Amino acid sequence: MVADYDAVNHQLTNARLSDGTPIPIGEIGRIAVAAVWLLLLLQVLVPVVYIFAD
């Protein structure tokens, strides 16, 4: 995902996939929140997997 930052208006603009396909700005926010939750979940699950793998 790629988005430009408008420093004058302090907002993201022109959100798109790397192939140029446009993405609504709201969708970028939803994807970012999902990515953060996934990272947090992995931080909890990965150590548990190692404990039970032994």
> Do the beta carbons of residue 43 and residue 36 sit within 8 Å?
no
pLDDT in tens, 5-47: 899 999 888 889 889 999 988 888 888 889 899 988 888 877 7
- pLDDT of 31: 85
Q: In 3-state terms, what secondary structure has residue 54?
A: coil
CA 16 from chain centre, in angstroms, equals 13
Report how far residue 36's alpha carbon sits from residue 31's, in angstroms, rounded to the nearest whole number.
9
- pLDDT of 25: 80
